[in-house]
Amino acid sequence: MTRCKHESCSAAEKVWLPYEFEGRSRGLKPYQYCIHCGVVKNISPDRAKPIGYYTNRLARMSITKVQMRLIIKELENMDFDDAYSMTKSVQEEIFIRVVKKYCKVSENNNISVSCSEVPNLN
């Protein structure tokens, strides 16, 4: 995936899109988009975290530096911290999947990593 250096449109160029609040449609709201790739900026409460947030979580686990580097490299290659198109909930799913790939984990969805526990995953 090619990384875009997102640049927001001006206030006059915002697009009006429907939005919901507490599960109910509330009309239209102006959203910024990237002038290079056209992706609409995520302004929901479920905003993506920077990759450093997940790197810190990895640092609290008892895993080897090699495992940590492999996990971080894979996350970087998939535009994991793209604040425009990624949500935190999707990041959590990807993070859990990648950690399971490089660390021994039990089959249940509760990520009890045998390398250690992953704090605050669920």
Mean pLDDT by 10 residues, the chain (122 residues): 82 91 86 93 90 94 94 93 90 95 68 44 45
Structure tokens at 70: 């492999």
Residue 67 and residue 94 in one domain = yes
Our count of domains for the chain comes to 2
- Report which of 98, 92, 111 is spatially closest to residue 70, judged by C-alpha positions: 98
Q: In this predicted structure, what is the pLDDT of residue 20?
A: 81
Q: In this predicted structure, what is the pLDDT of residue 2?
A: 59
Which residue matches tokens 């799913």? 93
- Parent domain of 32: 1-41
Residue 23 and residue 58 in one domain = no
Q: In this predicted structure, what is the pLDDT of residue 79?
A: 84
Length of the chain: 122
What are the strands, taking DSSP E only, across the chain?
Answer: 15-21, 24-31
Residue 111 and residue 98 in one domain = yes
Residue 78 and residue 115 in one domain = yes
CB 94 within 8 A of CB 105: no
Residue 32 and residue 73 in one domain = no
Residue 24 and residue 57 in one domain = no
Compute the distance between CA of residue 20 and CA of residue 65 in angstroms, rounded to an integer: 43
Residue 27 and residue 70 in one domain = no
